[in-house]
Structure 1
Amino acid sequence: DAIERLLSRRGYRLTAPRRNLLEVMASLGDHFSADAVVGAAPEVGRATVFRTLRLLQDIGVVCQVVLDDGTLAYRLAPEEHHHHALCVECGSVEDFSSPALESVLREVEEATGFSVEAHRLELYGRCAACRAASN
């Protein structure tokens, strides 16, 4: 199991509570709140949920999105790196990837000698449906 290998490389184990939380997150679908995880896994302590979310985010299994209202949402990360476009009107979140952005990161690394370990890009605007509805 890929997640178990990622945890092991960092010196962690896939414990029963972590496995339980991963199953809960998968059942919640895209962009769930920490409180939704807590509510769906009452047998796991709130602090354990938050620690596990942080750990899974650190190893790239979970990604975090800051919604337009400032609340945090999470989702299980897809295999490929991606970014988020958030609608300020309806709150929808679209995932997208951009080879051009990844190319810019490589250029920054080459020009500065800086090694980019992680980055996050969130675009805020209006989705096609909200733009069409306002016309």
Structure 2
Amino acid sequence: MTTDSAQKIEINLINALEDRGLRKTSARAAVTQRIEAAGDAFTAEQLCRELPEVGRATVYRTIRHLVDAGALCKLPILDGAPMYSVARVEHHHHTICSRCGAVGEFRHSTVERVMRSLEKEIDGDIVGHRMEIFITCNQCLADNAKGDSHA
């Protein structure tokens, strides 16, 4: 990612906080800059370790505000703490590699059609949905194939 696009995302994350009525502080700026530098999914604990100068509570609160603002996606992980990723498109779903934790985003009209058809069968109003598909990513498959050929 280029510096210009990284800066653009950082400004958007800061704007998301300011839109929620929060002041731009050096600690919040450090958190948002580190999130963009991650370039991939991350955990709150990773941020805490990488930002020892920022209080743990500030890291967790900033993440929560960004999730509430729709700027970050909270991803459940099968065996561990949730991971987060920058929401790069408005409505999307995720793939999560069960081996390396790599996160991908996808949109598919079939999912939305299924949700519309479910509205007729569910007693109540659907107000939203999330989908995470756990996979073995192509890189892990390739790494595994290389390891198998050497056995």
What TM-score do you get using the length of structure 2 for normalisation?
0.69
Please, which of 135, 138, 142 is the counterpart of residue 125 of structure 1? 135
Q: After superposition, where does 1:25-104 map in structure 2 within 5 Å?
A: 25-104=35-114
- Structure 2: segments with no counterpart, 5+ residues: 1-10
Q: 1:73 to 1:105 in 2, by over 3 A?
A: same
What is the CA–CA distance in structure 1 between the aligned matches of 2:99 and 2:53, rounded to whole Å? 36
Preserved CA contact (<8 Å) 2:48 2:59: yes
Deviation at 1:107, TM superposition (A): 4.3
Number of residue pairs matched?
134
User: Which one has the largest radius of gyration?
Assistant: 2
Which sections of structure 1, spanning at least 5 residues, go unmatched? Answer: none
Q: What is the Cα deviation at residue 3 of structure 1?
A: 4.2
Question: What is the alpha-carbon root mean square deviation over aligned residues?
Answer: 2.9
Number of the residue aligned with 1:11: 21
In structure 2, what is the Cα distance between the partners aligned to 1:15 and 1:47? 14
1:31 Cα deviation after fit:
0.7
Q: Is the 8 A contact 1:84 1:121 kept in 2?
A: yes
8 A contact 2:13–2:32 mirrored in 1: no
Q: TM-score with structure 1 length normalisation? A: 0.75
Tell me, in whole angstroms, the C-alpha distance in 1 between the residues paired with 2:38 and 2:18. Answer: 25
Deviation at 1:23, TM superposition (A): 0.6
